[in-house]
Homo-oligomer: A and B are copies of this chain.
């Protein structure tokens, strides 16, 4: 009763749910932390509302049809936004997941094969995809995305300009890649998301699901400053958060990081200061979805 496209959609949806549920994931919405405009429940509603769109994407890709990635991103965001009363919950996740769903439908289980397909699909995007990308960004009201400047890509507040300038979705995201880890991963064929997925699987063998996801998050944060923090608060702040993540991993050693006091303190501190490592969380959601697709179970 559940076919392959369905299995892809279920896995990616679960990835988003497990990501937002892992706690305390410092600075992000999680089980005991809401933002002013966006609650934990809004993330649940968003993930579930996008599932049918991801399934349709996977179905088209399975049939060998060209998937209009921009259009489906827009549709997924539209369904998500209308399923709750909060702000942007999953633009970044869906940007990754729409591409991932298409690539999984065409590739083998091997990550390098998935990456190759993702890259091919990304490069096949057209002006029309960029137009819908811009509309999706506007609809979500995503933080700090307006300022894709100093490039050929026009201001995101004017989707129609994209059509005139003849910029593809790949080009638009490439222009944003230096300041947005999600855009960067998209134009690189999801390399980082896929690697994150494999790491979650590895950690899941040793730890419970919550620890596996939180620990992966900290490892990512420790290695690369979060680009959402960077855009909103500057590089120094992003670097400081990465150092804090490193410190928690050092303190914990092999013990679960979720059992260290330092993790709860960092979570409290980031929430008080309104510092949100949201780009890293988006990559994590896609990565956990890939892990679920490969058979990891909570």
- Chain A interfacial positions (CB closer than 8 Å to B): 1-2, 6, 9-10, 13-14, 17-18, 21, 31-32, 39-42, 44-45, 48-49, 51-53, 55-56, 75, 79, 83-86, 208-210, 297-298
Contact = CB atoms under 8 A, between A and B. Distances in A.
A10 B41 contact: no
A79 B85 CA distance: 31
23 contacts: A1-B56, A2-B79, A6-B52, A10-B49, A10-B83, A14-B45, A14-B83, A17-B17, A17-B44, A18-B41, A18-B44, A21-B31, A21-B41, A21-B44, A39-B208, A44-B298, A48-B48, A51-B51, A52-B55, A83-B297, A84-B297, A85-B297, A86-B298
Contact of A298 (B14, B18, B39): B39
Contacts of A75: 1
A41 B84 CA distance: 21
Contacts of A53: 1-2
> Main SS of the interface on chain A?
helix
A86 B297 CA distance: 10
Contacts of A40: 21, 31
Contacts of A208: 39
A52 B2 contact: yes
A6 B10 CA distance: 14
A298 B124 CA distance: 37
A37 to B, nearest CB: 13
A84 B52 CA distance: 21
A298 B79 contact: no
Contact of A17 (B1, B48, B298): B48
A79 B7 CA distance: 10
